[in-house]
Chains A and B, each alone.
Chain A
Amino acid sequence: MTSLVIAEHDNASIKPATLNAITAAGKLGGDVHVLVAGFNAASAAAAAAQIAGVAQVIHFDEAGLQNGLAENVTAQVISIASNFSHIVFAATPYGKNIAPRVAAKLDVGQISDITLVVSPNTFERPIYAGNAIAIVQATDATKVITVRTTGFDPAPETGGSASVATATAVAAAASIQFLGSEIVKNDRPELASAKIIVSGGRALGSSEKFTEVIFPLADKLGAAMGASRAAVDAGYAPNNWQVGQTGKIVAPQLYVACGISGAIQHLAGMKDSRVIVAINKDAEAPIFSVADYGLVADLFEAVPDLVKAA
């Protein structure tokens, strides 16, 4: 029994979510191998070999793999899939894009978003926005799994000494072309792995108010920015800040919810945070039912005060 973890990377380094997936794979009981499919990605492969618990790195290097297109990464995974009992991805936009494609090619069901490994074929996963937990058993020979990163600690980035095997890449698909990306550069930590998140809701009223009121608190705390779906829908915040059932699932040390009422879809994305602070002027808002510390106050006064006092 050997698991294959598909690494998410930028061709230079391994993305943190991969570390959580490696921990989950370790709980399956067998060896953990890591696949790095990229272009000029030797340093990413070398970094993967350092991760504690990794027995072997398999490195595919080809121009078509530079941007992680699902069609092309899937072809590499399929070329070696028969050697593995489990194929494991982090449940990130990258992993969610590729894993089902691999599962369908193998004609197996996929188990999405696992939060616990019960046995090598039995897993826990949240359904209905986390309002129920299903214990599911896979009946197919190969298990394709995505891992909810908040359910597993990250594996240490060092301590491993795996060897790196270079494999011959399968040719890129002609059906899809990567044209470019618009990635917003900022100095803040990544939302999915941040220790502190400051999140804003519809009560902010505009994107200007997000900048004016929420940014200073995030800057002060060294926090990542988050937002409720309502704030994203209203155009106050970009979609990639969205925390919730259909956005990012986060579990930071501290989550500060400002002007967020706490719809079940939002709670689904943050209720595993260690400490939750809610600032809302409605004392009956459902967010207070999960908050460790609730402050019933107008966020436009309380948040600037908090910036000064923190």
Chain B
Amino acid sequence: MKALVAVKRVVDYNVKVRVKSDGTGVDIANVKMSMNPFDEIAVEEAVRLKEKGVVTEIIAVSCGVTQCQETLRTALAIGADRAILVETAADLQPLAVAKLLKALVDKEQPGIIILGKQAIDDDCNQTGQMLAALGDWPQATFTSKVAIEGGKLLASREVDGGSENLSLTLPAVITTDLRLNEPRYVTLPNIMKAKKKPLDTVKPEDLGVDVNPRIKTLKVTEPAGRKAGIKVVDVAALVDKLKNEAKVI
């Protein structure tokens, strides 16, 4: 069974982005870019399924600019077998990405499709669910445990107050949550090996997908700041402030 994993190139999670002064977006020129952290968990999970003998081939897919090749090379270094870049300079929104992935799933016929639950740039949390809807496949979002048994995918997913367990027919879409696994460190030999793995490039037109944005960004602004308050000297002073000034306890 093949696994298809989607990975997104995003501003590194350690970078504090700045809003452009003209309000058109955030400044990502000369900023460190990395694989979206939840997508690393997705690649890791696919590799673990392969190590267990459940998955035979892992295809990593990224949609976006030419530099997404770097993100795909990282996925290959973690253990994906080959990569596909859907190359476009267009502003890709989740629905468009879901349609691109759907076209590739139709072609590659994976049994399991793994995505991060959320990209840390647009914070949308949509693509996996949209892909599942487009293919009429079952979905297990925010998963913390995945197993394949008797031709079914068994998943535990994070919900308010605990977790719930689902059984899904294949193909199925899963999106990863934090506790699913801890991605391995990429080693130098694996980075070298990744350079030799196949990486194909296609265009949205080749897949027959219209990627025009459905949502226009009119303006991007700085959030309202919160001012630092005061330091209190001890617990007694803190309790006094909370009782008599803030009146919250």
A-to-B contact residues, CB < 8 Å? 67, 69-71, 74, 92-94, 96-105, 107-113, 122, 126-140, 173-184, 190, 192, 196, 221, 229, 232-233, 238-240, 242, 245-246, 253-254, 264-265, 271, 274-277, 283, 288-297, 302, 305-306, 309-310
Contact = CB atoms under 8 A, between A and B. Distances in A.
7 smallest beta-carbon distances between A and B, as pairs: A109-B214, A100-B129, A292-B229, A104-B133, A104-B130, A100-B126, A176-B138
Contacts of B234: 295, 297
Interface string B219-247: 11111001011111011101101100010
Nearest to B10: A128
B95 to A, nearest CB: 5
B160 interface: yes
A173 B138 contact: yes
Contact of B216 (A74, A137, A221, A296): A137
Which of A109, A136, A182 has most chain B Cβ within 10 Å? Answer: A109
Nearest to A140: B214
Contacts, number: 257
A253 B168 CA distance: 41
Nearest to A303: B235
A223 B237 CA distance: 21
B95 A129 contact: no
Nearest to A279: B238
Contact of B232 (A67, A179, A294, A310): A294
Interface of B: 11, 13, 16-17, 19, 26, 38, 93-95, 98, 117-118, 120-134, 136-139, 141-142, 144, 154, 158-169, 172, 177-179, 213-223, 226, 228-232, 234-236, 238-239, 241-242, 246, 248-249
Contact of B123 (A113, A179, A253): A113
A254 B221 contact: no
A281 B189 CA distance: 42
29 contacts: A70-B139, A93-B142, A94-B160, A96-B125, A99-B126, A100-B125, A100-B126, A104-B98, A104-B131, A105-B133, A109-B214, A112-B123, A122-B218, A133-B220, A135-B218, A175-B169, A178-B164, A190-B161, A196-B249, A238-B162, A239-B158, A239-B177, A240-B160, A242-B178, A246-B117, A246-B178, A275-B242, A283-B231, A309-B235
Contacts of A294: 228-232
Given A105-B133, A183-B161, A295 B235 contact: yes
Nearest to A144: B126
A182 B162 contact: yes
Given A97-B142, A132-B223, A233 B178 contact: yes
Which of B219, B226, B234 has most chain A Cβ within 10 Å? Answer: B226
Contact of A309 (B142, B228, B239): B239
B168 A109 contact: no
A248 to B, nearest CB: 9
B16 A264 contact: yes
Nearest to A233: B178
Contact of A293 (B98, B144, B242): B242
A93 B144 CA distance: 14
A111 B215 contact: yes
A101 B120 contact: no
Nearest to A229: B178
A240 B83 CA distance: 34
A240 B162 contact: yes
Contacts of A96: 125, 129, 141
Nearest to B118: A246
Given A232-B178, A240-B158, A181 B163 contact: yes
B168 A139 contact: no
